[in-house]
């Protein structure tokens, strides 16, 4: 698989607000937005703010933040409740 560069990365373009999107929540490390092609209502993607070319090169602390980040998911839960 070709290495995706930051310049060609759609997620980096979204975080830089270069691509139209609906932001759901954000933190210092993570950014959450509605998927452009949702498979269900409210389908949200949570990505690191910093570009990593693959899961293998993503620092463990970032992965832990995605899995365990309460602030992002508290916001998602609030949005789903109202």
Q: From the list 12, 14, 46, 72, which residue makes contact with Zn ion (rule: CB under 5 A)? A: 12
Q: In the bound complex, which residue of the shown chain has the CB atom lying closest to Zn ion?
A: 9
Cβ 18 vs Cβ 33: under 8 Å: no
Residue of 20, 47, 76, 10 lying closest to 55 (CA atoms):
47
Instruction: Tell me the site size for Zn ion, rule CB under 5 A.
Output: 4
Window 30-69: residues binding Zn ion (CB under 5 A): 51
Comparison of 1 and 81: residue with beta carbon closer to Zn ion: 1
Cβ 35 vs Cβ 43: under 8 Å: yes
Comparison of 10 and 79: residue with beta carbon closer to Zn ion: 10
């Amino acid at each position: 698989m070709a290495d995706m560069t930051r310049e060609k990365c759609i997620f980096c373009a979204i975080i830089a607000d270069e691509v139209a999107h609906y932001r759901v929540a954000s933190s210092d490390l993570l950014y959450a937005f509605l998927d452009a092609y949702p498979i269900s209502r409210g389908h949200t993607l949570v990505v690191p703010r910093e570009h990593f070319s693959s899961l293998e090169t993503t620092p463990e602390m970032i992965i832990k933040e995605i899995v365990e980040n309460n602030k992002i998911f508290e916001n998602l839960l609030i949005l789903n409740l109202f």
